[in-house]
Structure 1
Amino acid sequence: MRRYLVGGAVRDRLLGRPIVDHDHVVVGATPDDMLAQGFKPVGKDFPVFLHPDTGEEYALARTERKTGHGYHGFAFHADPGVTLEEDLARRDLTINAIAQGEDGTLVDPFHGQRDIGQRVLRHVSPAFVEDPVRLLRVARFAARFAPLGFHVAEETMALMRAMVADGEVDHLVPERVWAETRRALAEAQPSAFVRVLREAGALAVLFPEVDALYGVPQRAEYHPEIDTGVHLELVLDMAARLAPGDDLVGFCALCHDLGKACTPADVLPSHIGHEHSGVAPLRALAARLKVPTEHAALAELACREHLNAHRALELKPATVLRLLTKLDALRRPQRLEAFLTVCEADKRGRLGRAEAAYPQAEFLRAAREAAGAVGSSEFVERGLTGPAIGEAMERARVGAIATIPKPAAG
């Protein structure tokens, strides 16, 4: 029995990145061997065990054979005769197909160390095309490693295009698409996820509402980058910068301008009403991918209300209160924070505007504090009852917001 550290732990150690998970492969063992040493079985489709002390995963070396379409269309074979090289050969990318022995020796049959040095995301073998999830994984790894200079090898991109052309991505189940997308939106440069999918032709299949934004012009005085798709990429990366690892903010950023793809050609580059026309495509995307309820709800609010946030310093106090009420900000301040982060990312996600101030956020936070400080007790003490209490509280909250000094516009 030989044990090896594999996958991300080896890759990240070579890159000098923090190691999150330690996964291991075991060569020359049977399930009974693992059980005899105290390992606890957890795998359903193939033999995976948890170490009795560390809780880390140990999988028996295995091979796989394509039996049908999609992620589940594989038959796995694990026995003591499967070699380490055979196990590594079934992995997606060369940088993930490096093993480290218990003595520290690296086993690298597919030149993953070379590709780490050259900053290349390259497939291990032609079998890459058999699993459509790998296309999403490559795009996600691009989002993670683009800040380090990684790019997708042209021959790998060619295989990804072939997977789209052959209809393999049509067999991706919504849960897997969302799972990979959610992780990508929490990476350092989520724009790379979108760009890789678009270059492979998969964005139009999986996210047609997003793909439709590319080539749509915007007014240059507000958007020096012109192209709405380019703006989206800038917003995604700014959201990742302002809220690292926050896929909720990332999803709202992804969807905030979907309405611009619906603008009639004869009124371009203006996009009057895009905040409303974007709701239908957003709902379609969220339903298709089975997006969590809060993600879908806040994304819709960000779509509808981001222009009101940008105009916050010009709004009447009563309108500001209505905005806070729509966001449920008085009861859920964390939701306001997420919303404001999306709006700030939208404002700063423009060519040459990355360091622009966004005083609207400061003002809306202050408005929330002022409105939230108004309670019902004083009105009850005055003898008000029923709806009269709510009406009095609303007037008081509007008055409190009206007293807030407005910072200079950014």
Structure 2
Amino acid sequence: MAVVRNIQLKLDVPEDAHSVLDETFEQFRQAAQYVADAGWSGDPTEIEDTKNTLHDQTYTAVRGQTSLQASLVQSARNLAADALGNCKDRILADGEKASKPEFRGSVVVYNGRTITYNNDHVTLATVSDRVKAEFVTPKDEEGTPFAEYWTSEWERREATLHKRNGTYYLHVAVEKEVEPADSSGKLTENGVVLGVDLNVDGYLAVTSTGAFLGNADYLNHRRHKYERRRGNLQQTGTRSAHLTIKSIGSRFARWSSDYLHRVSKAVVREAVENDCTAIAFENLTHIRERISNASKFQQWAFRELQRHIEYKAEEYGIDADMVAPAYTSQRCSHGDCGFTHEDNRDGEDFECLKCGKELHADYNAARNIGWRLVQHWLKSGAGRATSQLALKSGMLNANGDYTPSALRG
């Protein structure tokens, strides 16, 4: 099982190499912007974010307009495609307004073909010759990310070069294969839990860190729109209508699967960014009754989203654990309160009748789901007394001790 971490390294770039790196920043920005312009459409449903399609539309032109080598052109395309996809999600899924991606900052994305790692320096591809840049390491490296991850045990992967206030920084993804959980399903070390509340309406997924992801209502709307069109075509009864039904069915299946993929990727990214070792869900076998009134499509989407999250999390060495769902939506997750009553929740609103705390109901449920796993670890004797629940504002450990974000290392 692969575990991925990201570390930031300060670079000492020779003065005479600044101009060529700065030109590389600019041409990389121009390449990404060209792709974003090509993929953007005034109609949100027509935004093109498929990398292969964008490659066919832009690669030759970008190569002709810049001095970037092929791999850097591809990295710029990927960056633009991701930005277009995020805009598309915000517009279609979350109902937000989004403008065309505009690339203004200094950033270049490097892969194995454009960066060479050494113990004390890297060489970077540019619009001209390669540039050698040495690492600026802390005087006392003990306990730093550099000391922990810049070792032979971790494989160095993709990196992103940034320039801030005249200083160059390299953000490097490092990866290591680790042993999975043992046969009992328990890890032997303490960890951090991300609680996740999944839904068939409203937000698809809400995390204990306060991330509201996806729009189940929009997903259902697209499904209803597809069903209406299919019904109208079925009434037509022609061969052409039959072929159209197959075509729109395939398109909708691809779209819905891709949409769930994006949401699951965002959930796992939230876990990675908070250094979580586990994601907690409600036990699917225990919540079938709660979603029994949902359509077959909604039930499929619920299960599929959970499945996507589980296998994507595994790629980062993050477990997916299940907890009993009883009262997670009725219990107050604030501090030591824990007051549980069915009248605490009213639709999307949660207001504790005892302590008065007001939260979004799904966010409150996500906190309870994650907390239940932390408490389970503590009570089961799994050796995780210092396990923590990842919250929007900090960490809460199994003993109830809270650490604000600003105080965490």
Higher helix share: 1
TM-score over 0.5 (shorter chain): no
Q: Which has the higher contact order (CA 8 A, sep 6+)?
A: 2
TM bin (shorter chain): under 0.3
Larger-Rg structure: 1
**Structure 2-normalised TM-score?**
0.25
More strand as a share of residues: 2
Give the structure-1-normalised TM-score.
0.25
